[in-house]
Chain A
């Protein structure tokens, strides 16, 4: 008999059970919580207390609930566009940069019109349009380089994030700095004409949230019921079949980068005009990257993304609370989000593949 060794092998499941497909994200989050507890233990704190501060308290407090919705809004809006890209196997990793560019350009209109008193009705719509357009054009840079020269869209879109961030940093420290701002690197506060009104008078939720909900519905219908949505689904599942269907992959690449960049840019301008109300060196706590997690956690489906966005927003709010109440570092939140993504991806693989020990004759 020959000696044999053992190795791990992924074997495709013939028919992944539907229950498993739906349950996988829940299991992934549960597993991530276990890893989160271990990290908190390693920091010498009580996981029970931390989870209470992280997850239970924000959900019990109406003010925190509103905060969660406001934080979820940009995550969902960005993730909607990313999900379309990822379904077609196009890897836009630079939504953070497109978000910042959208916020910068839209905010630029607010800065330029600061103090205007007459005929200001156009300012807010123009900000939204220019923000979305800016994000779309910014995302087209990696897309055009990909379809013309075959450059990796992953690297270009990612590196352009830092360009966008430094550009904003330069503007708020230099030309756009508020002259009456005591030398702080911020622009002047936006006028009411450049500020998104609350959803209801005096409410803590801005009306950008309504745009997000509307976009979830539109994107769900587009994906399921239009030829464009069909092209996106086919391109990812079977590129050759997409060619046989006559879908032009270059045009699809450009369209999807423009779409995802546009949504990220819109999210950026909604954030500055609905939440921050001025430009400052940093306008995002990493929404563009966290949205990648949201897209996958939501199984690349618009309705799933809505749920996943709320879950991830909770980690932001909880993270801030834990920082204040328990002196837990904010990096813990980022690390935890990373753990969530890894667990979701692992759960995805294991839904479709079985892990087996195979004997290898040698």
Chain B
């Protein structure tokens, strides 16, 4: 076995009372793709930020080729041959590809020669890019290519990729994997952070698993099932979601007919003639990469954005021009994507947060005053019914972990026994245990006869809960089809916008 190209030894980093990294050691060989696995908050980001010079460790050391290194800044790390591709792109929309790349290079490197260098790297690694295109005109996959080329142009020997496939369609992900394998063949060391365990099993040679800041295992991911890897991450059994029954589908509860909505602002997405039906007893999944109109579709469904009355029909009532509380009165419930500041107010306690979405429904006001005892009782029901770990109904929402707060905001709506649930990214940033509980609750709600519409970027999640699937791309929705008839590559094509051509949806823009 060759000596490691890069190794992190006994890294410890504390943030206040939190041990983000506790004596973590990690060695990556040349020509290895090494997965870094762990729940949100397990310490993966801290570890790679230490390697990239963004954070200084309290103790521990970094060595490259067996030589001890100290990186005071990303510039120093880059100079030593460490490259990083962040999950969130840091590109200037109004600059061209070449200009964005020039920003990380020394000032003397001219733009002219840069175009050739970009093209050279692009052909070498299969990353086609036009250096003169402005970034705003690029898709998420193309933007990621810019980030990768920007890292590669500095000839790194170690490349860190943080959740690189979270914004990609399955097809784009396959292309990315080919690139990564080429880098591996050149003897580079790759550190690959991902939540997608199947992907890790396909791609990675070894995996290091972090839990609560500690390294719990380094293993060959192919030797374990995705389920077993998940359990290593969590430290306990997750349990599978019971699949939807698929039968007992009742009347149409939600109907969208030619729902069109102009983008609310410059960076928003317009919705184009979206039509669908959700029947009682079924879960309809809406796939799509972030930024393809999910937030806009949710806002139109919830009534936070208004549209034509007939465009949205809930239980036979045309409500497109009605507000969210009128829709709630028709037994509809809504869970937005963002917990903090949208679904819940962090500074308010849980009881107040229950009032937030239920105040217009009967039972919480008496003679015009908030009925505190009824409110506390309803809040206790949600906390107990959905296993929300909290000090109690008077605890501030911000004191709850992401998973617990999500269980609360989902439970708040489900406890009402709604006949329609619209939920956007139900388990975004939530630990696996809470995610499984939420998905189970969604499926059970449908089994009891409610219509459910789930918008999600997570295909695994959608296949777990949905009876039928469709995809949202550039504000266009594909025709929903049974989940069993639609494999991943087909839905991937739809997420990339393929339906706009096959379905012949003529649109002028």
| Partner-B contacts on A (CB < 8 A) | 1-2, 14, 221, 225-227, 230, 233-234, 237-238, 240-241, 243-246, 248, 361
Specify which of A2, A227, A237, A243 is in contact with B370 (CB 8 Å cutoff): A227
Residues of chain B at interface, number, CB under 8 A = 33
Most chain A CB atoms below 10 A, which of B302, B328, B359:
B359
B: residues with CB less than 8 A from A are 16, 72-73, 76, 302-304, 323-325, 328, 334, 336, 338, 341-348, 352, 355-357, 359-360, 365, 368-370, 372
Q: Is the CB of A234 within 8 A of B345?
A: yes
Complex alpha-carbon distance, A50 and B288, angstroms: 71
Residues on B with beta carbons closer than 8 Å to the beta carbon of A233: 348
Contacting pair B72 A230 (CB below 8 A): no
Q: Tell me whether A244 and B324 are in contact in the complex, defined as CB-CB below 8 angstroms, given that A227-B359, A234-B356 are known contacts.
A: yes
Task: Identify the closest chain B residue to A224 (Cβ).
Answer: B370
- B contact residues around A361 at 8 Å (CB): 72-73
B344: which of A221, A230, A241 is its contact (CB, 8 Å)? A241
Q: Do residues A237 and B356 form an inter-chain contact, with CB atoms below 8 A?
A: no
In the assembly, what is the distance between CA of A233 and CA of B349, in Å? 12
Give the secondary structure class of A's interface. helix
On chain A, the residues within 8 Å of B357 by CB distance are: 244-245
A residues near B345, Cβ cutoff 8 Å = 234, 237-238, 241
* A244-B336 contact given A227-B365, A238-B341, CB 8 Å threshold: yes
Q: How far is the CB of A225 from chain B (nearest CB, A)?
A: 5
Q: Which residues of A contact B368 (CB under 8 A)?
A: 226-227
Q: Are A248 and B352 within 8 A (Cβ)? A: no
Taking the closest CB of chain B, its distance from the CB of A358, in whole angstroms, is 13
B336 surroundings in chain A (CB, below 8 A) = 244
Closest CB of chain A to B74's CB: distance in Å? 9
Closest to B356 in A: A245
| Shortest 8 CB-CB contacts between residues of A and residues of B | A246-B325, A238-B341, A246-B324, A238-B345, A240-B342, A361-B73, A225-B369, A245-B356
> Are B369 and A226 in contact (CB-based, < 8 A)?
yes
Q: Give min CB distance, A194 to chain B, whole Å.
A: 35
Cα A35 to Cα B334 in complex, Å, equals 53
User: Is A230 within 8 A of B352, CB to CB?
Assistant: yes
Distance of A33 Cα from B343 Cα, bound (Å): 44
Of A2, A14, A244, which is within 8 A of B356 by CB? A244
Collect the chain B residues with CB atoms within 8 Å of residue A237's CB.
345, 347-348
A118 to B25, CA, bound (A): 95
Give A314 to B63 CA distance when docked, in angstroms: 67
Taken together as a complex, chains A and B put the C-alpha atoms of A12 and B328 apart, in Å, by 36
Within 8 Å CB of B365, what residues of A? 227
Within 8 Å CB of A14, what residues of B? 16
Whether the pair B323, A244 counts as a contact (CB closer than 8 A) is: no
